Amino acid sequence: MAEENQTLEYATPAHLVTEPIEPAAAKSLGFGVLFFLTPVPAVLAIVYGIISLKRLRVRAARGRGAAWTGIALGSIGCFVWIWLGFTMAYGMRASTRIACMTHLRNIGVAIQMYAQTHAGQLPGGWDDLLAANLLQPQYLVCPGSTDTPARGATTQAVLLDYSAGGHATYIYLGHGLTIRDVKPASYTMIAYEVAGHGKYVNVLFADGHVESLPRDKFMKQVQTLWDQRALTSTRPSTRPSTRASTQPGGSVFLVPPVKSSETTTHAG
């Protein structure tokens, strides 16, 4: 009777024995599948995959295939996120440069309107356009610049705030000139940006069109301009800190720009 109640135990065949999967390998595969959500799962998939492979060298467990799959998915995820980062950064820089060109076009329209009402005389500086209510202060500041638009409840308040400095990104080259002095208008620079956008500098020409010139080409053109004529004025066309040096007689001579010593910087 006792023999009948005994439980018979049989050995499991070797081919049916399954080793447990290594936990780090499972995590690597799981994070690898989620690489498209954020960059974090992609990085964790690679980290856990490497840990799992090291453990499997000394431990009898399954998961080598899962670890390699997680590492592969994590690597793909890292590449995708890095590519997206560069693409978005380039797109933001391009959009900022285009917005800056739009500001210069608005400035060009304001200059032409001013000349039409002043017998062809170009404005002496940005403050002339602000005083005549032909230009909103925000158009004097590039969207990528650290400068801020001049503010005020009235025109006089805006001019007072503007005179404090830090409210204009662009250098004006037309003070003391008339429409007759800027021919051919399509080749005569009338304003440009102080810092530029990387390898490019936005330039406003006298006919109102704007170009984004490579920096080396811009440097050659502006140097040619300075060689042809010395631009002098009784007042600075931008804020006083913009590379201006006082000449005898109280006039301000705007020196040609250089590549690495501009006072205005761009964020990013």
For the chain, give the percent of residues with pLDDT over 90: 19
Catalogue the E-assigned strands of the chain: 170-172, 189-193, 200-205, 210-214, 232-233, 244-246, 252-254
pLDDT (tens digit per residue) in 70-125: 889 888 888 888 888 887 777 777 788 888 999 999 999 999 999 999 988 999 89
Cα–Cα distances (Å) from 68 to 32, 62, 71, 76, in that order, read 10, 12, 5, 12
Answer whether 179's CB lies under 8 Å from 92's CB: no
Mean pLDDT of the chain: 76
Mean pLDDT of 146-175: 89
pTM: 0.59
pLDDT of 174 reads: 86
Residues near 160 by Cβ (< 8 Å), separated by ≥ 6? 152
Neighbouring C-alpha atoms within 13 Å toward the C-beta of 25: 19
Of 170, 218, 201, 208, the closest CA to residue 186 belongs to: 208
Cα–Cα distance, 200 to 186 (Å, whole number): 19
List of long-range contacts for 199-206, beta carbons under 8 Å, 24+ apart: 200/97, 202/97, 202/100, 202/101, 202/104, 202/142, 203/104, 204/104, 204/105, 204/107, 204/108, 204/170, 205/108, 206/174, 206/179, 206/182
Digit-coded pLDDT (tens) for 215-250: 888 888 777 777 665 444 434 344 333 333 332 222
